[in-house]
A and B are shown apart, each in its own frame.
Chain A
Amino acid sequence: QKEVEQNSGPLSVPEGAIASLNCTYSDRVSQSFFWYRQYSGKSPELIMSIYSNGDKEDGRFTAQLNKASQYVSLLIRDSQPSDSATYLCAVRGDKIIFGKGTRLHILP
């Protein structure tokens, strides 16, 4: 059974600090990795895609991928209260699998 694991949280981070969200996956042949943000009652919104080892930065967001360790993370710099949401990790091998998400709470 291919799995994508995330800590459910909640992860509480002070405003202005760095939030670090982690995800591990079991399928070694996975090639595509995605982070989605989902506000309560809303649908998921794509934040970042990453396909190769290393870091990928987009504004305040940085995705980090380590295929050897089967680990992908999302860093949010200068966290804002509007970043409070559930963050879903998705991994694609022969099909896309979503983790259950980590709830992030930014403390004003």
Chain B
Amino acid sequence: DGGITQSPKYLFRKEGQNVTLSCEQNLNHDAMYWYRQDPGQGLRLIYYSQIVNDFQKGDIAEGYSVSREKKESFPLTVTSAQKNPTAFYLCATQETVSYEQYFGPGTRLTVT
């Protein structure tokens, strides 16, 4: 069963704590992306990775960090430096030829 999994679906944290969001894929896609979505807003790019052991900052990378040690996995850490971390976080993979992006189910993070 091919797809993208994100866990957990809902995550609650206290302010000041770092938290890591999981993203795993078995679509064999090289490129992976992290977006955040706020109510009434479009998708904003946090980080992306075109290949293992390489990643680039997106438009709103401050307060976030990523790693790409395996093709299948692209975890996102939301650090305490992120001013407004409460949001819906979406992981996506991208097909090499078509550039189509496919999204995981998302993680809804609430920080209080």
Contact = CB atoms under 8 A, between A and B. Distances in A.
A63 interface: no
A99 B43 CA distance: 8
Interface residues of B, number: 17
B103 A98 contact: no
Contacts of B94: 96
B99 A92 contact: yes
Interface of A is mostly: strand
Interface in B31-72: 35, 40-43, 45
Contacts of B45: 95
Contacts of B103: 43-45
B101 A34 contact: yes
B98 interface: yes
B105 interface: yes
Interface in A38-55: 42-46, 49
Interface string B74-112: 000000000000000010001000111111111000000
Contacts of A88: 42-43
Given A49-B98, A92-B99, A43 B43 contact: no
A42 B43 CA distance: 13
Interface string A20-59: 0000000000001010000000111110010000000000
Interface of B: 35, 40-43, 45, 90, 94, 98-106
Interface of A: 8, 32, 34, 42-46, 49, 88, 90, 92, 95-96, 98-101
